[in-house]
């Protein structure tokens, strides 16, 4: 069946403008394509100064001003919408609760699911808009039968489809990604912004987590959850040191363990397990991180669910990670995934996103993993 880009008909488009260069160029391209575009900046903090400072692009007063200036240059109406309370409940509090439970969440993925393509989209549709446009690098393909598919961006180096893997049919039907179908470097995007007269052309990209101003995740969690001393143990349960809160660690972490004495073989130790029940962090050799399978919950499909039975796919396990071959099967409300080769750094709470070629099949939240030693491989 032939695939074609999303139809070019004139739409009423709400362009989410973070204050960064990508979203500004996306809004400009949408307007240039003939759509009736309105820009909106999402105020995600009741106290914007508590979020990222400087020209990092996402949640500061400076960012909202940058977005407004870009909208003025493009020549489109612009508004600021206050979604701070919704963001706090659905993203920040979820982030804290997941770490408290010993899991490793992805707040950007949750923001796309709950804020940009749920709260924002719902409000946009209620106001008569046809679509929400963002500066994500991904593609929506419309097939001859009218169904939509989410695909990787033309430029794999900038592809952001992983954090969009939570979008369902309804959300895809109202999503525009003007940057996703062009093979351009970030320098070229900046050059385009400069040609368009957008002052954000040279603004640095955003990094890390927008609501943790100084990048100190462990300090942020400690301020919310309180310090709680516990043991760092080896695989046999022998105490090696102490920590100030198991929530401050992630599976695969090597640095910052503060273990007083080296391993018998002199090799580094890595975090293997986090137990919030007894506030214990287990560490061991890197080989013990090898994962050969996982079970994921709360699957969300970018289109119809996969066919019954085991099928081959590729999977991505983190936003900037590589694809790895897998076989996967939907069993009830769970997704069972087996890896062709062991992978490392897989933690409960992360998202596993399945791909069929460049098409995003869907996303699910990792609940448990199967280590190679456990599987007897």
User: How far apart are the C-alpha atoms of 155 and 15, rounded to whole Å?
Assistant: 22
Count the residues in the chain.
Answer: 377
Buried b (16+ CB within 10 A) or exposed e, 31-58: beeebebbbbbbbbbeebeebbeebbbb
Q: Are 205 and 33 in contact (CB under 8 A)?
A: no
**E strand or H helix at 99, and its extent?**
helix 93-100
Sequence-ordered alpha helix ranges (H) in 197-356: 217-225
The answer to whether the beta carbons of residues 252 and 347 sit under 8 Å apart is yes
**Residues acting as catalytic residues:** 111, 210
Distances (CA, A) of 63 to 89, 201, 206, 244: 22, 13, 11, 35
Residue 160's nearest CA partner among 369, 339, 24, 319 is 319
| Contact indicator for 333, 296 with CB cutoff of 8 Å | no
Partners of 86 in the beta sheet? Answer: none
Considering only CA atoms, which of 369, 368, 364, 367 is closest in space to residue 298? 364
Q: 89 to each of 45, 120, 121, how far by Cα in Å?
A: 11, 15, 17
* Angstrom distances, CA of residue 267 to CA of 19, 29, 206, 263, 354: 45, 52, 35, 6, 34
Find, among 260, 300, 294, the residue nearest to 372 by Cα.
294
């Amino acid at each position: 069946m032939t695939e074609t880009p999303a139809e070019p008909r004139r739409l009423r488009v709400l362009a989410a403008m973070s204050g960064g260069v990508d979203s500004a160029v996306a809004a400009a391209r949408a307007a240039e394509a003939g759509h009736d575009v309105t820009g909106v900046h999402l105020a995600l903090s009741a106290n914007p100064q508590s979020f990222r400072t400087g020209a990092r692009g996402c949640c500061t007063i400076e960012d909202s001003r940058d977005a407004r200036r870009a909208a003025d240059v493009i020549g489109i109406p612009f508004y600021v919408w206050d979604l701070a309370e919704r963001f706090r409940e659905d993203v920040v509090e979820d982030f804290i609760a997941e770490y408290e439970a010993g899991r490793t969440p992805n707040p950007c993925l949750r923001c796309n699911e709950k804020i940009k393509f749920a709260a924002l989209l719902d409000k946009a549709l209620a106001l008569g808009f046809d679509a929400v446009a963002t500066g994500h690098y991904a593609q929506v393909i419309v097939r001859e039968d009218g169904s939509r598919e989410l695909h990787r961006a033309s430029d794999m180096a900038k592809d952001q489809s992983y954090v969009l893997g939570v979008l369902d049919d309804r959300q895809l039907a109202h999503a525009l990604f003007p940057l996703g179908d062009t093979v351009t470097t970030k320098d070229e995007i900046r050059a385009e912004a400069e040609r368009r007269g957008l002052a954000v052309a040279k603004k640095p990209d955003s990094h890390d987590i927008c609501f943790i101003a100084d990048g100190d995740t462990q300090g942020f969690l400690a301020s919310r959850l309180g310090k709680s001393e516990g043991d760092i143990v080896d695989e046999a349960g022998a105490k090696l040191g102490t920590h100030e809160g198991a929530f401050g660690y992630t599976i695969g972490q090597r640095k910052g363990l503060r273990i007083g004495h080296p391993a018998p073989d002199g090799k580094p130790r890595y975090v293997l397990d986090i137990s919030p029940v007894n506030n214990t962090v287990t560490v061991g050799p890197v080989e013990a991180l090898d994962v050969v399978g996982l079970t994921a919950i709360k699957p969300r499909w970018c289109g119809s669910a996969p066919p019954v039975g085991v099928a081959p796919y590729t999977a991505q396990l983190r936003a900037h990670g590589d694809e790895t071959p897998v076989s996967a099967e939907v069993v009830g409300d769970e997704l069972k995934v087996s890896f062709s080769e062991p992978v490392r750094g897989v933690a409960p709470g992360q998202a596993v996103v399945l791909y069929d070629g460049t098409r995003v099949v869907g996303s699910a939240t990792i609940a448990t993993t199967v280590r190679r030693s456990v599987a007897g491989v």
